């Protein structure tokens, strides 16, 4: 006879009873596959905008990549410059069940289910386990990083002996030296183990950032004995124990608090004080968190009907953006892999401004302002970066961390022959980053109407990046035009090219827009003294220069050429490589792929996406027909498919758009690119939101107004979302009614 699980003790089981309420909100896994351990750790990340915690098991597992990553806690790493350092973990539960240590690596797993509830970011796992000695236990784990107070981290485990009785001992140790991709970054400063509170204060070895984690346990459903906190060799642990009887569930609640030197000079004291005033009341903690999430979803949700996978995917992407964005800190930004993995070591790329920021600009403008302010705070470093290369103005680094210095590794080891190093050129040649930031500033200004931000911070960014582009341009006397040579556009398969259309056009846009903003400032804020504001003569020269920047076009076809000479490269038919599981770069080799027309991601089409009025629909259709078959959307950059979906919508090919969209939607949920282990594809998540809103719903907005032009996939019956336009929330609700194409409420 199998005893029934108590639904209140194991809330993940309550889900079935309310299938309608949870439909499209639950990411679930019914079998644990150790071969996919790292990608599912990413999949089940929890977070709250201050930190992210990978979905490793409370009890641990061989080979796991356990990590909690906190915004701004960087430390030096030999060779790789600087990285987010995984902080001491708050999730551990060691279970001693009648003398046997619980782990999925021993005994037999009779039942397993893991769910992430996107409504409130709660991760649950229920396990029925037969121990090596043959005793059966039901275990239910839950955890969440509170959105109500991001310093509060909550977990619990419910233990039910099914067919025996015995002593249960639960320990919750805190590891003082967690590893980051195998590397230690920490020294212990202090440990706490008294009055039931276990905690520690640690400090990074080089950057001297401090993090405190403190926690306490409580038991319900049983008479606890042996409760307390111990310091075992610098690894403090809270512990409880009880005598469990067959069929009787008991529950251990853990409340943990975190403090960092980024917010306070006394992280340990502050975390301890927070823990002291926080009631050990699970329901109250859950309710506060759920209420904060409800407020968030009320404006951020995107409803897709007629396609359950797409519905779940778009919510999953919005969830990932929300748990990654700093709410109370404008000196950090979102890394390419968010706070969910070691990939790119927490560094910030153009991914943030170009791919993720539109979601925030349209839906959470106060967070967009934080993220843009991160760049403003680092303008001095960008100016130094420009000056170091012999240029004027401000040059944002290709990879950015805390200081704004360039932190792109200059070399990376060649995977096939590690003693060899591959030179990473993006730090030198990917100069479009400045215009990408400027573009995001301008879009935020247009959509939010936040003139104060533009006057106080945004304009300074635009002036700095414009001045860089002015000094980086080269005058070609023979052709009578400005050129940008030795650059790399979005398509990183082609480095060191001249007259990359994307880079050149965005530079020209930046020069023109900076002059326009200077004009606006002069009229609207005559008192403003913006550092680096251009003189009237400079404005004129920026506009003249913008008009004289060369954009390559093929005289025969009128097609815009990605860069000088692209049309003369070898054409490779990707169809002949159907079924491949590697990028075209891996197949053709680092040296050959630049000699072909294979793109890592859209480049001219990326320009078309950012500048919707630049090409006519006809021109766009011709560009799409030319460039899309040449783009490695499958295994090239994960930045590609979401944007490609929008372009396919623009040219009226909704079926193709849906294909690209689902490829992006599955990057993390199904790990279709095989690299979800390294962390969430943050840019792809942002592109998914854009694909639904700008692509399928066809939203266009500027400072004067907005419109939608729906082109839903055949089987979608509804798309609904909200967005903020110049301080007011708007609602779009597109329904496919029998005989009706679309309607907007």
Where along the sequence are the contacts to its own copies (CB under 8 A)? Answer: 60, 62-63, 76, 78-81, 94, 101, 173, 177, 179, 182-185, 187-188, 205, 231, 233-234, 405-407, 409-411, 413, 418-421
**CB 233, min distance to its own copies, A:** 6
Query: What gap in Å lies between CA 289 and CA 285, rounded to an integer?
Result: 6
> Pick from 50, 45, 67: which is nearest to 116 by CA?
45
Nearer to its own copies, 178 or 641 (CB): 178
**CB 366, min distance to its own copies, A:** 34
Q: What is the DSSP letter of 353?
A: I
Nearer to its own copies, 64 or 149 (CB): 64
Nearer to its own copies, 413 or 522 (CB): 413
Nearer to its own copies, 80 or 656 (CB): 80
498, 602 Cβ separation under 8 angstroms: no
**CB 56, min distance to its own copies, A:** 14
59, 102 Cβ separation under 8 angstroms: yes
DSSP output for 364-386:
-HHHHHHHHHHHHHTHHHHHHHH
Share in percent of the chain as helix, strand, coil (round to 5): 35, 25, 40
Nearer to its own copies, 206 or 611 (CB): 206
Tokens of 530: 């913006």
State the angle between helix axes of 501-524 and 433-448 in degrees (0 to 180), rounded to the nearest 10. Answer: 40
Single out the catalytic residue among 15, 59, 406, 492: 492
Query: What gap in Å lies between CA 624 and CA 648, rounded to an integer?
Result: 8
Query: What gap in Å lies between CA 659 and CA 83, rounded to an integer?
Result: 35
Nearer to its own copies, 139 or 701 (CB): 139
Identify the bridge partners of residue 53 per DSSP, sorted by sequence position: 46, 68
Q: What is the DSSP letter of 456?
A: I
Residue 581 CB-density burial (10 A; 0-12 exposed, 13-18 middle, 19+ buried)? exposed
**CB 105, min distance to its own copies, A:** 10
| Catalytic residue list contains 492 | yes
91, 175 Cβ separation under 8 angstroms: no
**CB 262, min distance to its own copies, A:** 22
482, 548 Cβ separation under 8 angstroms: yes
**CB 79, min distance to its own copies, A:** 4
294, 256 Cβ separation under 8 angstroms: no
**CB 92, min distance to its own copies, A:** 9
Q: What is the DSSP letter of 666?
A: H
Q: Exposure string (b/e) for 272-290, b if CB count within 10 Å is 16 or more?
A: bebbeebebebeebbebbb
**CB 80, min distance to its own copies, A:** 8
Residues contacting residue 352 through CB under 8 Å, at least 6 positions apart: 333, 334, 335, 336, 371, 682, 683
Nearer to its own copies, 403 or 485 (CB): 403
Nearer to its own copies, 105 or 618 (CB): 105
Return phi, psi of residue 128, to 5°: -110, 125
**CB 62, min distance to its own copies, A:** 6
> Pick from 119, 123, 121: which is nearest to 50 by CA?
121
Nearer to its own copies, 87 or 367 (CB): 87
**E strand or H helix at 322, and its extent?**
helix 308-324
Residues with a known catalytic role:
492
């Amino acid at each position: 006879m199998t005893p029934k699980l108590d639904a209140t003790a194991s809330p993940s089981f309550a889900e079935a009873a309310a299938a309608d309420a949870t439909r499209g909100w639950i990411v679930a896994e019914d079998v644990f596959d150790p071969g996919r351990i790292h990608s599912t750790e990413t999949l089940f990340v929890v977070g709250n905008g201050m930190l992210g915690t990978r979905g490793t098991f409370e009890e641990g597992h061989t080979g796991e990549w356990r990590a909690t990553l906190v915004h701004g806690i960087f430390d030096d790493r030999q060779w790789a410059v600087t990285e987010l350092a995984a902080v001491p973990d708050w999730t551990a539960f060691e279970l001693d069940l009648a003398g046997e240590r619980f782990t999925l690596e021993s005994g037999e797993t009779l039942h397993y289910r893991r769910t992430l509830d996107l409504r409130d970011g709660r991760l649950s796992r229920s396990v029925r386990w037969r121990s090596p000695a043959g005793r059966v236990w039901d275990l239910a784990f839950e955890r969440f990083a509170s959105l109500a107070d991001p310093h509060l981290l909550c977990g619990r485990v419910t233990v039910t002996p099914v067919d025996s009785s015995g002593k249960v001992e639960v320990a919750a140790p805190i590891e003082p030296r967690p590893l980051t991709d195998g590397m230690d970054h920490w020294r212990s400063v202090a440990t706490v183990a008294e009055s039931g509170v276990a905690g520690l204060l640690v400090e990074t070895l080089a950057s001297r950032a401090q993090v405190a984690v403190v926690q306490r346990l409580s038991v319900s459903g049983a008479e606890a004995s042996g409760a307390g906190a111990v310091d075992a060799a610098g690894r403090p642990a809270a512990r409880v124990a009880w005598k469990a009887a067959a069929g009787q569930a008991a529950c251990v609640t853990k409340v943990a608090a975190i403090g960092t030197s980024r917010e306070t000079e006394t992280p340990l004291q502050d975390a301890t004080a927070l823990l002291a005033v926080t009631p050990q009341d699970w329901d109250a903690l859950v309710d506060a968190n759920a209420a904060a999430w409800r407020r968030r979803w009320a404006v951020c949700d995107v409803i897709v009907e007629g396609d359950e996978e797409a519905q779940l995917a778009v919510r999953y992407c919005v969830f990932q953006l929300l748990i990654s964005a700093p709410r109370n800190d404008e000196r950090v930004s979102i890394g390419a892999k968010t706070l969910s993995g070691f990939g790119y070591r927490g560094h910030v790329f153009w991914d943030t401004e170009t791919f993720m920021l539109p979601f925030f600009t349209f839906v959470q403008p106060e967070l967009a302002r934080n993220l843009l302010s991160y760049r403003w705070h680092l303008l001095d470093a960008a100016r130094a970066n420009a000056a170091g290369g012999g240029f004027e103005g401000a040059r944002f680094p290709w990879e950015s961390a805390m200081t704004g210095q360039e932190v792109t590794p200059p070399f990376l080891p060649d995977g096939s022959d590690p003693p060899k190093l591959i030179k990473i050129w993006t730090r030198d040649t990917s100069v479009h980053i400045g215009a990408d930031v400027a573009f995001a500033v301008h879009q935020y200004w247009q959509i939010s109407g936040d003139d104060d931000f533009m006057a106080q911070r945004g304009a300074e960014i635009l002036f700095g990046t414009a001045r860089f582009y002015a000094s980086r341009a080269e005058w070609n006397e023979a052709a009578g035009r400005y050129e940008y040579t030795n650059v790399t556009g979005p398509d990183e398969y082609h480095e060191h090219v001249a007259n990359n259309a994307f880079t050149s056009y965005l530079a020209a846009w930046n020069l023109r827009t900076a002059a326009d903003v200077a004009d606006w400032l002069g009229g609207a804020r005559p008192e403003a003294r913006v550092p680096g504001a251009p003189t009237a003569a400079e404005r004129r020269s920026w506009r003249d220069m913008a008009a004289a920047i060369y954009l390559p076009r093929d005289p025969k076809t009128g097609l815009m050429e990605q860069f000088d000479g692209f049309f003369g490269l070898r054409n490779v038919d990707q169809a002949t490589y159907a079924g491949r599981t590697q990028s075209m770069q891996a197949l053709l080799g680092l040296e050959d792929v630049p000699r072909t027309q294979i793109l890592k991601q859209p480049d001219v089409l990326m320009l078309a996406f950012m500048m919707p009025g630049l090409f006519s629909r006809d021109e766009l259709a011709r560009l799409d027909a030319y460039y899309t078959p040449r783009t490695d959307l499958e295994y090239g950059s994960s930045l590609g498919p979401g944007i490609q979906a929008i372009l396919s919508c623009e040219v009226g090919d909704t079926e193709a758009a849906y294909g690209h969209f689902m490829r992006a939607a599955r990057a993390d949920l199904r790990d279709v690119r095989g690299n979800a282990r390294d962390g969430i594809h943050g840019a792809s998540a942002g592109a998914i939101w854009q694909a639904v809103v700008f692509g399928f719903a066809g939203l266009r907005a500027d400072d004067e107004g907005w419109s939608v032009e729906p082109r839903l996939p055949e089987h979608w019956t509804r798309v609904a979302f909200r967005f903020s336009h110049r301080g007011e929330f708007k609602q779009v609700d597109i329904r496919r009614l029998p005989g009706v194409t679309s309607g907007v409420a």
